[in-house]
Amino acid sequence: MSDLNHWVGIVTGSATGIGAATAQLLAARGAKVVINYSKSQQEAEETVAACQKAGGEAVICQADVAQDEDCKKLVQTALDAWGRIDGLVNNAGTTKIVPHHDLDGLSAADFQRIYAVNVVGPYQMCRAVRPTMKAQGRGAIVNISSLAGVVGVGSSIAYAASKGALNTMTLSLARALGPEIRVNTVCPGFVQGRWQRKWLGEGYADRIKREEATTPLGRAGSAEDMAEVAIMFLTSCANVTGEVIMSDSGRHLSFAPAKAR
């Protein structure tokens, strides 16, 4: 279905994973997309090629969203190529894998770097696209957060805390950027792919089986699942802003409330 032929978007961290899946699904509908990477140049080039093969247009931009000037460069790349920006997906993220009980495993520098990418980066990207979207009279922003930011789980306390901050920031930005710009957030649960393989190692296959056996929907999520929700927010849902939605096969329903004392 090619119904986004005049639509232009930026997807940060789009060399692999959810970002790449989002860019490719947008391209399949005819969109024009800026593919961003920090370090994974080869994978980013492969994503550009996949977008072009899918029927869309794509350009590449190396940028670290923790750096404000790089965020401005990403925006200018879109404007130079196509003269407008209709959507932004703040997908770039980072973490450090530390068990939650190991309070000595995280330093202040770890927190600062994780927050710089996961919270400050999206803020800077929203600020950078605001003038163009406001001038156009419309725009949509989707932040890719995590179930970790809702229930306090995940690769580390710093990561969970950063995603919780991103969820709260979504509410603030939705108020600040309306009525022209809508801001919403997707919170993935388990997502099959390279990152989870790296984190879980030999336990990766067992984790997929556990997701299939214990979630209400009986399935392990994919990058494409998350991309579909992001694109819903980007290209429809004209009456929705400030929404934080979980795409986790219902995993959040398994976290029982604390017992009364």
pLDDT in tens, 50-68: 999 999 999 999 999 999 9
Mean pLDDT score, 77-97: 98
DSSP the chain: ----TT-EEEETT-SSHHHHHHHHHHHHTT-EEEEEESS-HHHHHHHHHHHHHHT-EEEEEE--TTSHHHHHHHHHHHHHHHS---EEEE---------TT-GGG--HHHHHHHHIIIIIHHHHHHHHHHHHHHHHT-EEEEEE--THHHHS-SS-HHHHHHHHHHHHHHHHHHHHHTTTEEEEEEEE--B-SHHHHHHHGGGHHHHHHHHHHHSTT---B-HHHHHHHHHHHHHS-TT--S-EEEESTTGGGGSPPPPP-
> Residue 248 in contact with residue 211, Cβ under 8 Å?
no
CA–CA separation, 174 and 61 (whole Å): 27
Superfamily of 8-191+224-244 according to CATH: NAD(P)-binding Rossmann-like Domain (3.40.50.720)
Longest dimension (CA), the chain: 60
Q: Where are the domains of the chain?
A: 8-191+224-244
Phi, psi of 60 (to 5 degrees): -115, 145
What confidence category does residue 255 fall into, taking pLDDT thresholds of 50, 70 and 90? Answer: confident
Confidence grade of residue 125 (pLDDT, cut at 50, 70, 90): very high
Report, as an integer, the average pLDDT of 4-14.
Answer: 97
Active site residue 159: yes
Assign 259 a pLDDT band (cuts: 50, 70, 90): low
Cβ atoms of residues 227 and 221 within 8 Å: no
How many Å apart are CA 174 and CA 183, to the nearest integer?
A: 5
Can you give the pLDDT at residue 249?
93
- Give the least confident one: 34-43, 215-224, 247-256: 247-256
Quote the pLDDT of residue 257. Answer: 59
Dihedral angle sign, alpha carbons of residues 119, 122, 128, 131: negative
Q: Which residue has the tokens 């998350």?
A: 226
Could you say which of 37, 115, 123, 159 is catalytic? 159
What is the value of pTM for the model shown?
Answer: 0.94
Mean pLDDT of the chain, nearest integer: 95
* Model pLDDT, residue 256: 60
| Nearest residue to 57 via CA among 22, 8, 1 | 8
